A and B are shown apart, each in its own frame.
Chain A
């Protein structure tokens, strides 16, 4: 069988290579003039969705993002990678994963995808919650931290990266899936595909139109820089290292 529609979530985050700066007043992380990119785990989710379509296992890939006007860049990236169309839920406030999953739930009810594919976590808040929460809200099965996805008859067979190794589950369809690092290697969008992406349709929906409760439940009292570790000590030889570990650090 093939999935009629796959909804894939893409988050715009501070680029993974940027060294973040915490605002001196403790109110947050400084994002002015900072390079922003698609969350790396979301790239894996887009890649997997597009591959499903290329293998004839999905008919349509819809990319969805939530955020301010700049998130249009993130949607265009997903379209350039091969998604068919985009949904931009326009929202100027930062949402907690619970609110994000409610927004997704509302769009799922409109779009009726047979699978929602997300990254396992975003590299900014490192929460690792949205997919699981969405699955809970929808009462759908969840396949989290995937390193392999197979479509079999009317079910999904997923391999998950767990603490002891790997685990294989069977999920009924529809399902929510979250991607781990080893699922695939995301492609770079080619120039012709970037040009083509500009003509693909993107629907903008003001978040208020979805009628979803997005109020925050967590009050962020303060954001601080993590105390720096004092390192930089050097030893000249293995013998000196062994001596220091024994007599200075006392760890062996």
Chain B
């Protein structure tokens, strides 16, 4: 069995969620090999998660910001030439976008967002906003899988001992073209899905300006800032901060939920956090049922007080 992990990278560093996909790949193929494909900003990758024997680098102009129509043929070609049995990617917007296109071309049923590997073709994945877990067995010769990053530990170190193969794509993509991106500037804050501390705000913040209370609290602990769907819908903060069933899934050491009620769809994205704190003035808010430490209080008093207490 041989696995290929379609990885994301920035500045030559493999993203944490892709590292988790390598960990999952190793569990699935056992003593088999694990290779990695990187493109765009990963082209100068110097180290890979341990266990990776070969790194394919997709070079070329279309690979800086690869669209699915450009990348899927590259993955399919690699699969064919190397007889990969498992194709994996992180369940990020990148992986979710490209992998099903690959799966369809292979007549393979993708297994999305796995949280556990139970064997070379058995996986566990959440359904119904994480309220149930489905254990599924794939009968496909080539299995296509996306991996929930928070469910797999970090790699046992890195390796620089891998073979590097540069690919040049010969297929032209006439279907689509990348035009631009508007990335959110989160300043010095860590990335949401890999942060040790996440502070999230909901509609209780009442305005986008008030989100600075959340940011100040997060900054005292070098944490990331998250939000509920309601807060994003109301324009308090950008879409990439949304935590939940259809947004990002986080599992930090400490999750502080501020001014949010705890809708099922939000809980789906954070209930695996190690310690959960809830600050809400409504004692009946469902978020308190999952919180280790609930503080029934007006956030506009409690949050500044907590921030200043932590600064001391």
Contacts and interface: CB of A to CB of B under 8 A. Distances in A.
Given A19-B264, A218-B139, A231-B289, A132 B239 contact: no
B107 interface: yes
A226 B126 contact: yes
Contacts of A133: 100-101, 103-104, 110
Interface stretch (A4-12, A166-174, A204-212): A166-174
Interface string A207-233: 000000000111111111110010111
Interface in B130-178: 130-140, 174-178
B294 A164 contact: no
A75 B177 CA distance: 34
Interface in A85-142: 96-98, 101, 120-121, 123-137, 139-142
Contacts of B96: 128, 132, 144-145
A88 to B, nearest CB: 24
Given A132-B104, A218-B137, A241 B68 contact: no
Contacts of B134: 220, 222-223
Given A126-B112, A136-B104, A232-B288, A165 B184 contact: yes
Interface stretch (B30-38, B43-51, B245-253): B245-253
Contact of B294 (A97, A140, A171, A234): A234
B111 interface: yes
Nearest to A227: B133
A239 B291 contact: no
Contacts of B229: 181
Contacts of B94: 162-163
Contacts, number: 261
Interface in A148-188: 157, 160-172, 175, 180-182
A59 interface: no
B97 A164 contact: no
Q: Is the interface of A mostly helix, strand, loop or mixed?
A: mixed
A182 B105 CA distance: 30
Contacts of B67: 141, 169
A134 B103 CA distance: 11
A98 B289 contact: no
Interface size class of B (residues with CB under 8 A): 35 or more
A90 to B, nearest CB: 22
Interface stretch (A49-57, A191-199, A243-251): A243-251
Contact of A245 (B98, B293, B296): B293
A2 interface: no
A175 B274 CA distance: 42
B183 A164 contact: yes
A74 B9 CA distance: 42
B177 A170 contact: yes
A16 B268 CA distance: 13
A226 B133 contact: yes
B113 A126 contact: yes
Contacts of A1: none
A206 B133 CA distance: 31
A165 B112 contact: no
B266 interface: no
Given A19-B264, A133-B104, A157 B179 contact: yes
Contact of B292 (A29, A167, A233): A233
A9 to B, nearest CB: 15
A181 B132 contact: no
Nearest to A125: B127
A181 B136 CA distance: 29
B127 A161 contact: no
Nearest to A156: B176
Given A137-B105, A141-B175, A233-B293, 5 more contacts: A127-B112, A136-B103, A163-B94, A171-B176, A236-B295
Interface of B: 65, 67-69, 72, 92-94, 96-105, 107-113, 122, 126-140, 174-184, 197, 221, 229, 232-233, 238-240, 245-246, 248, 253-254, 264-265, 271, 274-277, 288-297, 302, 305-306, 309-310
